[in-house]
Amino acid sequence: MANILVTGSNGQLGSEFQKLSEKSGHEFIFTDIDELDLTDHHEIERFFENKDISFCINCAAYTAVDKAESEIENAIAVNVSAVRNLAEVCNSNHTVFIHISTDFVFDGSNCQPYVESDKARPINVYGQSKYDGEQQALKENTKTIIIRTSWLYSSFGNNFVKTMMKVGKKNDTLNVIFDQAGTPTYAVDLAEAILIIIEEIQTKRIDKEEYFGIFHFSNEGIASWYDFAIEIFRISGINCMVNPILTKDYPTPSKRPHFSVLDKSKIKTTYGLAIPYWKDSLSRCIKEIKHQTKDQQGEE
């Protein structure tokens, strides 16, 4: 059993940990900004006192990709300064720091899946702030595990899956971008993978150098946002036609990489992980969303 701190625990990924914790043998502490504001170094130091936290999973982030272009200071405060604070305090408490990062550290010019050693070249404020946060975490704590993920969705929070299910019911046709390719990631799969990583580090009890550093994790396979939308409608039985459009025909404040598929070989071999195919995970998530909707309707 380990004491595990999950920060940003009201977000998509954090909420999945809250759910998984019910059947895990670990002792979890969940915090979000109201209980622990990570931009406050002293608050974190005080929070760690007498808690013997073995692992800290940082799910907190500034994730509004477009807004970040005009709210640079906020993005840096949460994605860089707060990460440095947490990594420093983890280091002085001998806590393994598990930090989540993004495929948006890449510029998208690759034509094959990105490996961890590929050069990061962010093309938007969010991506740059996440990359700078990675650097701070690695510098401040040698026991840092950075997991870059992509296109995260969950039955909790707001995301592409839930938006498509909502707007697809109200529209006969939707335009969706088809010249950005990546891999969707179900937050449950990522949360379960992180618990396996913790298990592996705990049971082996060896400080193997290869356990730490940067890793890539998404579901298996590849899709465009167009493919993703089509599959969401197919699985959820929504009758909405999808038109493929180009990025240039859907202008956004922030630039996005055209290709950000992640190569997962390193995390699979280091930790013995098996990763589900994105369409299978999407089916499980949509089933869960429908289940939650039924429960809510039952409560009303």
User: Of the residues 62, 114, 126, 226, which is catalytic?
Assistant: 126
Residue 78 touching ligand NAP (CB under 6 A): yes
Residue 151 touching ligand NAP (CB under 6 A): yes
Answer for which of 85, 141, 144, 150 binds ligand NAP (CB under 6 A) is: 150
DSSP state of 104: G
Residues whose CB falls within 8 Å of the CB of residue 269, separated by 6 or more in sequence, listed in order: none
Q: Which of residues 93-132 bind ligand NAP (CB under 6 A)?
A: 100, 102, 130
> What is the token pair recorded at 182?
């990546």
Answer for which of 4, 5, 6, 7 binds ligand NAP (CB under 6 A) is: 7
Residues in the chain: 300
Measured distance CA(226)–CA(244) in Å, rounded: 6
Residue 87 touching ligand NAP (CB under 6 A): no
Shortest CA distance to 6 belongs to which of 98, 110, 135, 93?
Answer: 98
Site string for ligand NAP, 35-74 (x = CB under 6 A): --xxx-------------------xxx-x-----------
Residue 126 annotated among the catalytic residues of the structure:
yes
Answer for which of 5, 11, 168, 231 binds ligand NAP (CB under 6 A) is: 11
Shortest CA distance to 244 belongs to which of 165, 162, 151, 174?
Answer: 174
Measured distance CA(25)–CA(100) in Å, rounded: 23
SS3 112: coil
Residue 227 touching ligand NAP (CB under 6 A): no
Residue closer to ligand NAP (CB basis): 78 or 285: 78
CA atoms within 13 A on the CB side of 232: 30
Measured distance CA(99)–CA(96) in Å, rounded: 10
Answer for which of 2, 29, 33, 196 binds ligand NAP (CB under 6 A) is: 33
Interface residue list for ligand NAP (CB under 6 A):
7-8, 10-13, 32-33, 37-39, 59-61, 63, 78, 82, 100, 102, 130, 149-152, 157
* Residues designated catalytic: 126
